Amino acid sequence: MSESLEGKIAAITGAASGIGLAAARMLLANGATVVLVDRDEKALSKLTAELGDKAIAQITDLLDTESCAAMVPEILAKVDHIDILYCNAGTYIGGDLIDTDTTTIDKMLNLNINAVMKNVRDVIPHMIERHTGDIVVTSSIAGHYPTHWEPVYAASKWAITCFVQTMRRQMIPHGVRVSQVSPGPVISALLADWPEENLRKAKESGSLIEASEVADALEFMLTRQRNVTIRDMLVLPTNFDRV
């Protein structure tokens, strides 16, 4: 048996493109209301006009301390409650550490780790009070394997894997499920920073997946009965042989 998403209210960070947008489309197709969180006001305006009345824009810059802190309160001013928080926003750094500047490292760690922790911290009082909810984070296969061609990115996803699994245990008594989805390489703007040779090989071998296929995994996770938690789902291209 599965649980319906009809009438649920979800908030998705990084929702203007890629996995976040695919997840938004999936949830809307299942009858949910979706708050699309992104810093790109123009893109959100266009998308909400396209997606209909159940798609709500929330302009938030997760790298801005005040904007990040205001996200959950501003969402709750627009909707009655939050059933699902999908922390999907993130960025990527590939290549050797020595070739990466420290400002870029700080930005990536702040978005991939700190913003996720802050968003979860801000939503859990609301979910604890309601004694229900789902928190899902986009991790990566890089959070399970020491991918030497992307040490900073991989480290951020290892950190998130630890965070999700510790928070999953903390939230069990409160009826809140905490989980992550860990995709392999997804066709998205993030791959623009991949080492060119790796990207070329992945494309030639069919070792990439679509964002919609990650959304399919998310749908399965969210529609399980409440006595079941899919704590992590690895979604890999069949031909991906780098890990």
| pLDDT given at position 193 | 64
What per-residue confidence (pLDDT) applies to 194? Answer: 66
**Average of per-residue pLDDT across 195-222:** 85
> Which of 3-12, 97-106, 114-123, 203-212 is predicted least confidently?
203-212
Strand pairing class (84-87; 55-59): unpaired
What pLDDT is recorded for position 191? 66
pLDDT(242) > 80 = no
C-alpha to C-alpha distances, 95 to 36, 100, 150, 156, 202, nearest whole angstrom: 31, 8, 5, 15, 16
Helices first, then strands: H and E counts in the chain: 8, 7
Residue 19 token pair = 């996995």
Average of pLDDT values for 202-217? 86
| Residue 1 confidence class, pLDDT cut points 50, 70, 90 | low
**Predicted pLDDT at 219:** 98
192: pLDDT confidence band, cut at 50, 70 and 90? low
How are beta strands 176-183 and 55-59 bridged, if at all?
A: unpaired
What is the model's pTM? 0.93
| Count of positions (residues) in the chain | 243
pLDDT (mean) for 82-96: 94
Higher pLDDT, 228 or 195: 228
Say yes or no to pLDDT of 225 above 90. yes
Query: Per-residue pLDDT averaged across 207-228, rounded?
Result: 95
Alpha-carbon gap, residue 34 to 5, rounded angstroms: 11
Whether 153 is a known active-site residue: answer yes
Q: Which residue out of 86, 92, 145, 153 is catalytically annotated? A: 153
Is pLDDT above 80 for 196?
no
Segment among 41-55, 68-82, 159-173, 229-243 with least mean pLDDT: 229-243
Average pLDDT over residues 4-19: 97
Q: Considering Cα of 77, then 52, then 223, then 61, what sign does the dihedral take?
A: negative
3-state secondary structure of 224: coil
Give me the domains of the chain, ranges plus CATH numbers: 9-235 (3.40.50.720)
Whether 124 has a pLDDT exceeding 90, the answer reads yes
- pLDDT of 76 higher than 90: yes
Mean pLDDT of 209-229: 96
Confidence label for 84 from pLDDT (cuts 50, 70 and 90): very high
